[in-house]
Amino acid sequence: MAVFRVNKDKNYTVMSNHHFRNRELSLKAMGLLSLTLNLPDSWDYTLKGLSTICGDGITSVRSTLVELEKHGYVVRERMRDEHGRLAHTEYLIFEVPPTSPQTQ
């Protein structure tokens, strides 16, 4: 059996294993969540921005975010401007969904 060892001496990310162990998530959802957890808070979390860095189309990214929403890892809030018009979308991203038994 092959043995893989990864030397993690610099430039790596520490995150919860919760999403990796969730058998209901697709590999794509695990990857997109890992990618978003790696990005700085100030990064532009738009469908276009995520699409650009992950190499998938906007439709693919959107459907993956819907999957992550379904499982509680992403909460999407549509923000309105002072005139009540839709301005932008704000995403809350969780390593462990707030409704998960692990958090209670």
Q: Which residue has the higher pLDDT, 9 or 34?
A: 34
Distances 45 to 35, 68, 90 between C-alpha atoms, Å = 11, 14, 8
pLDDT digits (tens, 9 = 90+) for 44-60: 778 898 999 988 999 99
Q: What percent of the chain has pLDDT over 90?
A: 55
The chain-wide mean pLDDT, for the chain, equals 88
Residue 27 is inside which H or E element, if any?
Answer: helix 27-38
Domains, the chain, ordered by start: 25-97 (1.10.10.10)
pLDDT digits (tens, 9 = 90+) for 84-104: 999 888 888 999 998 766 544
Lowest mean pLDDT among 9-13, 15-19, 55-59, 95-99: 9-13
